Amino acid sequence: MPPGFWRYSIVKLILLNRHAASRTIELGKGFWAFVSVCVIGLPIGLVALSYQIGFGEGVESEQASRVTSQEQQATERAEALAQMGAEAQSRLTAMTRRLASLQAHVTRLDALGSHLTELAGLDTGEFDFSGPPALGGPAQPLTVTESPDVANVDSKLSALDAIFARREAQFDVLAGLLSSEQLRTESTPAGRPIRKGWQSSPFGNRIDPITGQPGWHEGTDFAGREGSDILAVASGVVSWSGYQSGYGLMVEVSHGDGLSTRYAHNKENLVAVGDLVRRGDVVALMGSTGRSTGPHVHFEVFKYGRAVDPATYVRRTHR
């Protein structure tokens, strides 16, 4: 190819036309520059464009992957925190219920303590369960030997709950024993059936006040003012309240353990059959109904159905 070919060469293009003569067109250097750009620059541009697009997509993919990983880590942290919060709330609820149970145990122990104090006749000022216990002493630094985590606290609460349960059971047994003893004491006749008056006739052999003949007296008479109170000498249940031949208006109280007492010649009975009476309750008013010569109470004590001398019980001092 001779020198200066691109600058000066002329290409003749012959166009054939069936009716026209052949023509010659001359192409200049601008045309060849355009052709060079298309042949050389276009592939290079396409390569560069492809690289740029691929690089951009790679960066965007890497950024998207990085953002997705961060979002996943944040989601996992949030789920872990939510789980920890739920576990903490569950433990707090369990401990709150445990404390409520312990408070109920303490309340019951206080009530049992007060009841035992009353049953045993102890000084309420010495054993006061209505206030906090008296404590004191110099302050000393606390040496922590173990971490106060939830497991340790829960274990100590369980141990305290078990101690309270044992103490409560022991107190129940003791209260039952004291109640039985108190019930036995209260149900045993003791004292006189009147507040004021005097003994007008003893138990046993005597001269009958109506016939003037020797006779047997199964009770003790206490004379007093008509309408005065007649008292139960022991706790029990009323087994009779009404009129009885020879006795007039009479009240009978059953005390258990084979013991019963009778209060006769009453002006008025103040209790009915089935009533529960306590020692010292007023069961009737003194009168002179039935076989009687004046206002008095005929007092009898029966043990397993047999009349016994009331003097033994009258001399007792009830507690």
Whether the pLDDT of residue 282 is over 60: the answer is yes
Q: SS3 letters for the chain?
A: CCCCHHHHCCCCCCCCCCCCCCCCCCCCHHHHHHHHHHHHHHHHHHHHHHHHHHHHHHHHHHHHHHHHHHHHHHHHHHHHHHHHHHHHHHHHHHHHHHHHHHHHHHHHHHHHHHHHHHHHCCCCCCCCCCCCCCCCCCCCCCCCCCCCCHHHHHHHHHHHHHHHHHHHHHHHHHHHHHHHHHHHHHCCCCCCCECCCEEEECCEEEECCCCCCEEEECCEEEECCCCCEEECCCCEEEEEEEEECCCEEEEEEEEECCEEEEEEEEEEECCCCCCEECCCCEEEEEECCCCCCCCEEEEEEEECCEEECCHHHHCCCCC
Whether the pLDDT of residue 167 is over 80: the answer is no
pLDDT at 147: 53
**Interval 41-53 mean pLDDT:** 64
Q: What is the residue-averaged pLDDT of the chain?
A: 76
pLDDT in tens, 102-135: 777 677 667 766 766 666 666 666 556 566 666 6
**Interval 290-311 mean pLDDT:** 94
pLDDT in tens, 50-69: 656 665 565 566 666 666 77
pLDDT at 2: 53
pLDDT at 316: 82
Among 9-23, 141-155, 165-179, top mean pLDDT goes to 165-179
Whether the pLDDT of residue 136 is over 60: the answer is yes
pLDDT in tens, 204-242: 999 888 888 998 999 999 999 999 999 999 999 999 999
pLDDT at 158: 76
What is the rounded distance in angstroms from the CA atom of residue 313 to the CA atom of residue 301?
9
